[in-house]
Amino acid sequence: MKQGKLIIFSAPSGSGKTTLVNFLLTRDIDIAFSVSATSRKKRSHEIEGKDYYFLSPEEFKEKIKKEEFLEWEEVYRDHYYGTLKSEIERIWSMGLNVILDVDVKGGLNIKKKYGRKALAVFIMPPSVKELEKRLIKRSTETMENLKGRIIKAEAELKLACEFDIIIINDNLKKAKSETLVTVKNFLKQNKESS
């Protein structure tokens, strides 16, 4: 099986990375979305196998023991997130490149493993205050969870400099354009050198 490339999107929750990833998936480029696994509860609008592979914390821990994850992390207590190796192989077997929407630490871990075959993109919110507004507007968090996400976001923002590129999402149209050009250039550059 020919290995493709990996395009990693990471950002604090509420930065707009999922919006940008979904935008890329509507473009005519050879990419497919890597569905992550999680042990958190399924939200009403989410679909198994499309948004996440939903596992119990016990099932998740069993897969960790069997080394079935490319990367994983316990983001909040008993809320695990991870990228299954089988998911990457599934996409590569279709002759496509992988696009990932992952936690900041997970993104850096994948980049370390794949080096130049991976592009690590950090989506930067305009400010922590704006991030907080976006999370409140979502109405998916309790005040306690919201505070936890803001503290986590502040720590994640400090890791932005470790990514290949930072895209500031203060204007969605501009961020979409910059994201598309960045990804196309990365895939083209790698084709020319292979």
pLDDT mean by block of 10 residues, the chain; 194 residues: 89 87 95 96 91 95 97 86 95 96 91 96 84 70 73 86 94 96 90 50
**Residue 138: its pLDDT value, please?**
67
Q: Are 104 and 159 in contact (CB under 8 A)?
A: yes
Decide: helix, strand or coil at residue 82. strand
CA pair distance 136, 133, nearest whole angstrom: 5
**Residue 132: its pLDDT value, please?**
73
**Residue 182: its pLDDT value, please?**
97
User: Encoding tokens for residue 75?
Assistant: 């983001």
Residue length of the chain: 194
Q: Which CATH class is domain 6-193?
A: alpha beta
Q: Are 156 and 167 in contact (CB under 8 A)?
A: no
**Residue 141: its pLDDT value, please?**
66
CA pair distance 183, 7, nearest whole angstrom: 8
**Residue 1: its pLDDT value, please?**
60
**Residue 194: its pLDDT value, please?**
45
Residue-range domain boundaries for the chain? 6-193
Q: Are 191 and 38 in contact (CB under 8 A)?
A: no
Residue among 20, 103, 22 nearest 69 (CA): 103
